[in-house]
Amino acid sequence: MKIAVIGGGSTYTPELIEGFARRADVLPFTELVLHDINADRLEVVGGLARRILDRDGLADRLKLTTSRTEAVDGASAVLIQLRIGGQQARMVDETLPGKFGLLGQETTGPGGFAKALRTVPVVLDIADEVVRRAEPDAWIVDFTNPVGIVVRALLDAGHRALGLCNVAIGFQRRLARQFGVEPERVRLDHAGLNHLSWIRGVRVDGVDHLPALLDGPAGEAVAREVDAPIELLRTIRAIPSYYLHYYYCTDQTVHEQRTGNTRAAEVLEIENTLLDMYRDPALNHKPELLEQRGGAYYSEAAAGLVTSLLTDDGAHHYVDLRNDGTIAGLPDEAVVEVPARVGRSGARPEPVAPLPPEMLGLVQAVTAYEVLTIEAARTGSRSVALRALLANPLVRQWDVAVPLLDELLKANEKHLPAFT
């Protein structure tokens, strides 16, 4: 059983390695391959990965390579965790939209659009190599943002893929601590799109605690965590994903971005510090600083999902997959983020109650934007790219979309060969 990680030089990787090490008894992988195009970074991250695995006598199963062909050859599962253009491109995603009075963010709005244009062609190229080189029934698990768009592009191209985000599992763990129970006893009514989802039920042993949570003093802490007014949560009777504050509090967020530091700058500093720490030959575990990088519980979510796909354990996960009627009012071809049972044949979504109008309308608009963004990324069509920006609820305006697209294409020129 071979597992390949494309983008293995990511600072996230040590957490992922710990997740696989903890599951080695139920997920008996014989080879774990880390691939990255940056050989120096791969060596640093891979060194820590080897020391982590060595604690459990698993170091001989780890391989490092800059050859993508070698990485995916014969793999049973391929995890993709890329950032095309690195943190420098992210900096542009977060700052350039501000010139037009728009929100700057790496997965939503115009920044997320630019990231999708850079990312979709690369991931599709990787997926084609997986088809040629990996096992015939190999799974692609995507953690690369924007996850919903990337997964839909993969599925539209006929690939065997699921998407993964840590938002739901993060809330599950947080609420489990609050209620003093094991995480497995907490089930979330989590539904929507990736980075555009709501929790409309928090069931512990079948009893929904969300109404009391929202109306009680603990609701204030939840509201602060998702950066939204408690009155908003109580009005919609749900906990929105943190990313929804970009839609619910757009003007406030744009104002804050004019005067504050970018998240990209913060992450770049954290990454540099982490890489220095990873070079320490005495370090054999993920450092606490990694929690500030983002992606908390990634190891649990990713290792657990791969385990289900390769061992058919039928476990409960929150994944990104085809809608196929799961959320009423969305096309079957849309990619949604919902609870599911996962086995070798893939994910079977659990029933989801219809979204209320204010949620469904936003999800429908963003779904339309995603369709156009994938087409623009694959074809390099300027007209389709403009239509995508017009469909994006955080852009919309023609007199902004035209000059915005010009600057986005210029800033990302070396990563967008389809548009040249």
Amino acid making up residue 160 = R
pLDDT score of 298: 77
Looking from the CA of 195 toward its CB, the CA atoms found within 13 Å total 22
pLDDT score of 383: 98
Structure tokens, 348: 């079977």
Amino acid making up residue 186 = V
Looking from the CA of 308 toward its CB, the CA atoms found within 13 Å total 21
C-alpha 248, offset from chain centre: 21
Residue 264 neighbours by CB under 8 Å, 6+ apart: 87, 90, 91, 93, 94, 95, 106
Which is nearest to 315 in space by CA: 13, 23, 7, 2?
23
Using an 8 Å Cβ cutoff, are 419 and 411 in contact?
A: no
Which is nearest to 354 in space by CA: 379, 323, 333?
323
Cis peptide before 136 (omega within 30 of 0): no
Using an 8 Å Cβ cutoff, are 33 and 9 in contact?
A: no
The sheet with strand 335-343 has its strands ordered as 62-65, 31-35, 2-6, 77-80, 139-142, 161-164, 315-322, 335-343, 346-349
pLDDT score of 294: 63
Q: Which helix (H) or strand (E) holds 162?
A: strand 161-164
Q: CA quadruple 51, 54, 60, 62: dihedral positive or negative?
A: negative
Please, is 281 exposed, middle or buried when counting C-beta atoms within 10 Å of its C-beta (0-12, 13-18, 19+)?
exposed
pLDDT score of 241: 97
Could you list the pLDDT tens digit for every one of the 420 residues in the chain?
Answer: 999 999 999 999 999 999 999 999 999 999 999 999 999 999 999 999 999 999 999 999 999 999 999 999 999 999 999 999 999 999 999 999 999 999 999 999 999 999 999 999 999 999 999 999 999 999 999 999 999 999 999 999 999 999 999 999 999 999 999 999 999 999 999 999 999 999 999 999 999 999 999 999 999 999 999 999 999 999 999 999 999 999 999 999 999 999 877 888 888 899 999 999 999 999 999 888 887 766 668 778 999 999 999 999 999 999 999 999 999 999 999 999 999 999 999 999 999 999 999 999 999 999 999 999 999 999 999 999 999 999 999 999 999 999 999 999 999 999 999 998
Find the DSSP H helices in 134-249. 147-156, 167-179, 210-215, 218-225, 230-236, 245-248
Using an 8 Å Cβ cutoff, are 227 and 242 in contact?
A: yes
In residues, how long is the chain? 420
Q: Point out the residues that are catalytic.
A: 243
Using an 8 Å Cβ cutoff, are 69 and 133 in contact?
A: yes
